[in-house]
Amino acid sequence: MISQSTIDSVFETARVEEVIGDFVNLKRAGSNFKGLSPFSDERSPSFMVSPAKGIWKDFSTGKGGNSVKFLMEHSQFTYPEAIRYLARKYNIEIEETEQTDAEKAMTDVRESMYLVSEFAKDYFHKTLLNSEEGKAIGLSYFKERGFTNETIKKFSLGYSPETWDALTKEALGKGYKLEFLESTGLTIPREDRPFDRFKGRVMFPIESMSGRVLGFGGRILTNDKKAAKYLNSPESDIYHKSKVLYGIFQAKQAIAKQNNCYLVEGYTDVIQFNQAGIENVVASSGTALTPDQIRLINRLTRNITVLFDGDAAGLRAAIRGIDLILEEGMNVRVCSFPQGEDPDSFARKNSHDDLVAYLEENSKDFIQFKASILMNEAKNDPIKKADLIRDMVTSISKIPDRIQREVYIQECARIMDISEQVLVSTLAQLIQKDIAEANKKQKQEQKPFEVVRNNQPPKNTGFSGGDPDDPRTGPPEGYEEYSGYPQEQQVEKVDILYGFERKIIEILLLYGSVEESFEDVFLKADEEGNIKEVSEKRQYKVYEKIYLSLQEDEVELSNALFQSIYTNIIDFYNQNEIFSLDKYLMHLQPEFAQEVTNILMEDEKVVIHNWEGQNIFPKHKNVTIEQNVSDSIFSLRWFLVSAIIADLKNSLLTDPQDDNSEVLMMVVDYSKLLNNFSKKLGRVVVPYH
């Protein structure tokens, strides 16, 4: 178990913008940073990071929290894993206390799969470097490819022995369970004796963007025609090959810094480019490029350069991926290598400067690429040329941005020497066709309407336009208060109490330690013994005033989450002489993180939506803290008193008695209390219920 002192050091050292910046391309927005959400597919940034508060908020999904919560949400870390990751990032030594059996038992299946995969990576790597077989076969192969010791270490390359169960036996001996070796695909089950999937192969660990081992790729070194040259881990709870990119962990910072990602096909292409000094490169690992893989890159940059072999197969692969990349709203360029060369071999033969120069000189816009490559096939054939133009316009139709589409249409018209008007017309037809197909698909997926009989009598709404059951004279379409009339939209009931209680939490977070002058009202006897109501200004810290007010009324917040957060905040104030929001957020429990972040980042909607740029100027919350606190307390009291009045009135209806004068007197007394609230709030208030 990680010691509290280590956790404190991690929170004090970690900078939320640095942690998230490893995964999301952030841009400065005033005192904050913003970027595209890593949790949803979006093209306009709704992800906000506040260094001053040490928190982040994703307005597209509602998620939020501190740096630890981000790692838990984004990389599926457990809390201890997130702490360990940050400790490694900031070179903080981890102090551990002994784990109890109960804590060990809490480790879930996914975590066990990650641990087994991490063990396998280390085992393969050590076998490569230290065993005679590993050095003679695996290490010799990597050296022949030109990989240095630094490169081998950087990518944790390894070797799986030719023995049938070398890894399985070693893992079981170290206490790892067979079920997790099998669920990750490292071991293939067999009744008599399970055996290693990757025996006799050099190993390439496949890591997530955060560096967790998801699976492996293994290359056979013998000439066995029955065995696949490359073998990947099977799909599992932690490995989905269509959603991962080889090398993304090593490349993420370089991609964000260079604002461009080179996309190749194989493991050795990535490794060789890295060794040549070009680190912003990833591979689709032999699978056809998928939207999920493109979105992974989109978190870091909007620019992709596809690098492909100079053969026909590489050409077809590049062409297939272009439309997918364009459809995601990204910019794509394409670069081919000379015949017989691939990124691996070309990088091996050229210096860093020559390689960079070649990429810059030969990277083409996708329009130029398609024109230069496919025109050779069309030559003087008008029909093939028409098909080529139609193919180019089809690619342009995938681009979401209208301005970009128009620019590319102009470029296509210039290159292909054809009327721009014809291209625009063809483009419009293609877009209309796509819309029609999308609508058709949506209708097919929609569930049939269900007729629901409304057994409740219609409310007396005051509508006097005619017979409510007659569509000719009845209420207009969408008339919302008439319950017996079909409605296209139902008005969502606002939870007033939720709003009041949330406001209490907000005030405690933002202004709890501020000292203000509040008006206290109490009863006092004068010299003649008469009891009078007296008001007096007294100094309180905001959290003290709220706590005393709720204690006085014996009120607990009805929302269980808010009540837990309320108790947590009050305890924190009482235990710390000087309140620091940063310190509170450091130790914020994960189950509170999202709601607390939602509250604290509410103001950042102003930045996200650029309200001030549209001449909308929100009122600042800290203009009159005392009134803000008093209004919130009185509003909550108003709601609760209204609820009591409603219950009393219902009791008169449901349980009529001969003598109900006592209940009526209570209704009157509580109604007087509402009048008192009205004076305090400076506005008329009526029972809510």
**Domain regions of the chain by residue span:** 4-101, 108-239, 248-432, 497-587+624-689
Spell out a b/e string for 616-651, using b for 16 or more CB atoms within 10 Å of the CB, else e: eeeeeeeeebbebbbbbbbbbbbbbbbeebeeeeee
Distance CA 591, CA 568 (A): 12
Average pLDDT (192-202) is 92
Least confident of 41-50, 160-169, 315-324, 343-352: 315-324
Q: What is the pLDDT of residue 204?
A: 97
Residue of higher predicted confidence among 672 and 593: 593
- Of 229, 234, 228, the closest CA to residue 216 belongs to 234
Q: What is the pLDDT of residue 314?
A: 58
Burial of 129 (0-12, 13-18, 19+ CB in 10 A): middle
Q: What is the pLDDT of residue 378?
A: 67
Tell me the per-residue pLDDT of 627-680, one tens digit each, with 9 for 90 and over.
777 777 777 777 777 777 777 777 766 666 556 777 677 767 667 666 665 565
Q: 248-432, which class in CATH?
A: alpha beta
Distance CA 409, CA 389 (A): 11
Q: 250: helix, coil or strand? A: helix
**Average confidence score pLDDT of the chain:** 79
Q: What is the pLDDT of residue 659?
A: 61
Q: What is the pLDDT of residue 377?
A: 67
pLDDT at 506 over 60: yes
Q: What is the pLDDT of residue 7?
A: 86
- In this structure, are residues 541 and 512 in contact, taking their beta carbons and an 8 Å threshold? yes
For the chain, the 3-state helix, strand and coil shares in percent, each to the nearest 5, are 50, 15, 35
Q: What is the pLDDT of residue 655?
A: 63
Backbone angle region of 417, left / alpha / beta, with phi > 0 → left and psi within -120 to 50 → alpha = left
Average pLDDT (593-615) is 62
Average pLDDT (318-344) is 86
Q: 4-101, which class in CATH?
A: alpha beta
Q: What is the pLDDT of residue 604?
A: 58
Per-residue confidence at 477, pLDDT binned at 50, 70, 90? Answer: very low
Q: What is the pLDDT of residue 195?
A: 93
> Of the ranges 20-24, 89-93, 140-144, 612-616, which is most confident?
140-144
Kindly list the distances between the CA atom of residue 43 and the CA atoms of 35, 60, 232, 313, 571, in Å, as whole numbers in the listed order.
10, 11, 33, 32, 42
Q: Rounding to the nearest 10 degrees, give the CA dihedral for residues 376, 380, 385, 388.
A: -10
Average pLDDT (65-85) is 84
Q: 28: helix, coil or strand? A: strand
Distance CA 78, CA 80 (A): 6
Kindly list the distances between the CA atom of residue 231 and the CA atoms of 124, 254, 272, in Å, as whole numbers in the listed order.
15, 28, 20
Per-residue confidence at 55, pLDDT binned at 50, 70, 90? Answer: confident
Per-residue confidence at 370, pLDDT binned at 50, 70, 90? Answer: confident
Paired residues of 187 in beta bridges = 196
User: How far is residue 325 CA from its own chain's centroid?
Assistant: 21
Structure tokens at 607: 């930045």
Report residue 3: phi and psi, to 5°.
-70, 155
Distance CA 156, CA 125 (A): 6
Tell me the per-residue pLDDT of 381-418, one tens digit each, with 9 for 90 and over.
788 888 888 888 888 888 888 888 888 889 888 888 88
Q: What is the pLDDT of residue 516?
A: 82
Residues making up the chain, counted from first to last? 689
Rg (CA), the chain: 33
Per-residue confidence at 533, pLDDT binned at 50, 70, 90? Answer: low
- In this structure, are residues 468 and 474 in contact, taking their beta carbons and an 8 Å threshold? yes
Average pLDDT (299-312) is 81
Residue of higher predicted confidence among 436 and 328: 328
Q: What is the pLDDT of residue 461?
A: 39
pLDDT at 596 over 80: yes
Q: What is the pLDDT of residue 360?
A: 93
Q: What is the pLDDT of residue 616?
A: 40
Burial of 681 (0-12, 13-18, 19+ CB in 10 A): middle
Q: What is the pLDDT of residue 206?
A: 96
- Of 264, 315, 306, the closest CA to residue 286 belongs to 264
- H/E element holding 160? strand 158-160
pLDDT at 213 over 80: yes
Distance CA 317, CA 324 (A): 12
- Please report, rounded to a whole number, the percentage of residues in the chain having pLDDT higher than 90: 24
Kindly list the distances between the CA atom of residue 53 and the CA atoms of 40, 65, 72, 601, 620, in Å, as whole numbers in the listed order.
24, 10, 19, 9, 17
* CATH number of 108-239, picked from 3.30.230.70, 3.40.50.150, 3.90.980.10, 3.40.50.920: 3.90.980.10
Contacts (Cβ under 8 Å, ≥6 apart) of 11: 66, 68, 586, 587
Average pLDDT (197-202) is 95
Instruction: Specify the long-range contacts of residues 100-109, CB closer than 8 Å, at least 24 apart.
Output: 100/1, 103/1, 107/78, 108/78, 109/180, 109/183, 109/237
pLDDT at 178 over 90: yes
Average pLDDT (231-236) is 93
3-state secondary structure 449-485: CCCCCCCCCCCCCCCCCCCCCCCCCCCCCCCCCCCCC
Q: What is the pLDDT of residue 283?
A: 94
Per-residue confidence at 277, pLDDT binned at 50, 70, 90? Answer: very high
Per-residue confidence at 255, pLDDT binned at 50, 70, 90? Answer: confident
- In this structure, are residues 201 and 160 in contact, taking their beta carbons and an 8 Å threshold? yes
DSSP state of 619: P
Q: What is the pLDDT of residue 174?
A: 93
Residue of higher predicted confidence among 429 and 678: 429
Cα end-to-end span (Å), the chain? 51
Which residue type sits at 137?
I
> Of the ranges 64-78, 181-195, 366-380, 520-534, which is most confident?
181-195
